[in-house]
Amino acid sequence: MSGSYWTSTQRLHWQYSKAALARQRQELWVLECQLFPHGLNIVMTTRQNKEANNNINGNSTDPQQPTTTVKNIPIIHRDLHYDRDFNLRIYCYFLIMKLGRRLNIRQYALATAHIYLSRFLLKASVREVNLYLLVTTCVYLACKVEECPQYIRTLVSEARSLWPEFIPPDPTKVTEFEFYLLEELQSYLVVHHPYDAMEQIIDVLKNSEYDLNLSNEDVQNCWSLINDSYINDVHLIYPPHIIAMACMFITISLQNNNSANNSNSNSMTNMISLENLTPAQEKFNKFMAESQVDLMEVMDTIQQQITLYDHWDKYHEPWIKFLLHTLYLRPVMNQTPSGSLGGGCSGTSAGSNNSSNSNSGNNSTPNKTVNKNSSSSSTNSRDVTPTLNSNSKNINGNGLNNGNIAL
């Protein structure tokens, strides 16, 4: 890709300050609360111990009896809000990666697709669009922009094999959604990624002034860190070279700590401390000091990456898949919830306006009557077993009970 980042539309139109990004998301948050004040009703199944005296005449009965209740998830909860729900962010990341690997799409195009998705969800809510069709359309458009186009029928066929309930068989639905996507992106499609900056930094570090050669494993680790950084907001805030430098700093800091086999945030913080620096760390710190980059931006990017992995440890995929199933596939439930996960909301489901036509994936285009419902914390989801209706066969071909997406 030609051109400079400093004069690109990415920097001029799609790079936010932290305050500006917070204002943009606050506007969407207020809109969601106005359009979907009732939240989302979900059906939960719990198991309760049956009293021993219920066994009559010594007949054996199941000691665990399922109890079904309807609970309301108020709109003020973080779940299904892209800016606050890391479960949703990580799940979107896996959706793009899974579709991309099915089609052997190169990483640059997948990274561009994730940027498109992040930008789109600054202007629209998950509740007003078909997330799975959005992912498919972002990948389709990104492949065209990155000059590795995919046949639309092949793309739709692969997407339907992964998410048959949500992707319509008609390829024109993807092209129709593409116009909505282009509108929200304001037709600014060129994206600069940290991968090029990473390669340039590696070449500079090989000079005699620094004499720092990274192994192939280190380069691959840095590349993986950059891939994971697309889950964060750093690509909407900082230039690509800042992200590349932060990921390389983490990589070099962890070179001699692999034997510790620690992955929690505290251990990682200790690894990047200023105590007991290795020669490689000293050389890279010298490079950063002489490069005249904003070190506060680099440190903030590192901190966001550490925070991401802390949330990743708590990632609960079945819960987010269940919420999306409920949002897109369940019929309208008009009964009053018997329990509340946050209280203060009526029992009608604000998350089911799209559901009547969704069994065949026909709710494909953005529905401007936004569906905005937030859910209970993921810890609550571990105490109960989500129950899907008959339309919810399997969300990605592996079934709801599969805790991990097979990439």
Query: Which tens digits make up the pLDDT trace of 348-371?
Result: 333 334 433 434 444 444 444 334
- Bridge partners of 45, per DSSP, are 68, 385
Does 370 or 202 have the greater pLDDT score? 202
pLDDT for position 175:
94
pLDDT tens readout for residues 260-303 = 444 444 555 555 555 678 889 999 999 999 998 999 999 999 99
Q: Is the pLDDT of residue 213 over 50?
A: yes
Banded model confidence at residue 259, pLDDT cuts 50, 70, 90:
very low
Q: Give the number of C-alpha atoms closer than 13 A to the C-alpha of residue 239, restricted to the C-beta side.
A: 17
Please give the full DSSP string across 71-134, using - where no structure is assigned.
Answer: EEE-TTSSTT-TTT-HHHHHHHHHHHHHHHHHTT--HHHHHHHHHHHHHHHHHS-GGGS-HHHH
Place of tokens 């034997």: 259
Lookup: tokens for 370:
């936004």
- Where are the extended beta strands (E) located within 313-401? 339-340, 385-386
Express as a percent the part of the chain with pLDDT over 90: 52
Most confident of 72-86, 104-118, 314-328: 104-118
Q: Is the pLDDT of residue 156 over 50?
A: yes
CA distances from 373 to 74, 352, 353 (A): 7, 10, 12
Banded model confidence at residue 329, pLDDT cuts 50, 70, 90:
confident
pTM: 0.75
Banded model confidence at residue 152, pLDDT cuts 50, 70, 90:
very high
Average pLDDT, the chain: 77
Whether the CB-CB separation of 371 and 128 falls below 8 Å is answered with yes
Minimum mean pLDDT among 49-58, 88-97, 363-372: which range? 363-372
Minimum mean pLDDT among 65-79, 110-124, 360-374: which range? 360-374
CATH of range 194-312; options 1.10.3720.10, 1.10.472.10, 3.40.50.410, 3.20.20.70: 1.10.472.10
- H-helix segments, 163-278: 172-185, 194-205, 216-229, 234-237, 240-253, 265-271
Task: Give backbone dihedrals phi and psi of 33, rounded to 5 degrees, phi first.
Answer: -65, -30
Q: Is the pLDDT of residue 383 over 80?
A: no
- Region 76-94: mean pLDDT is 87
pLDDT for position 41:
75
Q: Is the pLDDT of residue 179 over 50?
A: yes
Delimit the domains of the chain by residue range: 194-312
| Cβ neighbourhood burial of 110 (10 Å; 0-12, 13-18, 19+) | buried
Does 378 or 87 have the greater pLDDT score? 87
CA dihedral 31, 91, 235, 155 (to 10 degrees): -100
If you count them, how many residues does the chain have? 407
Q: Is the pLDDT of residue 21 over 80?
A: yes
pLDDT for position 270:
54
Sheet of 64-73: strands edge to edge?
339-340, 64-73, 40-49, 385-386
Banded model confidence at residue 39, pLDDT cuts 50, 70, 90:
confident
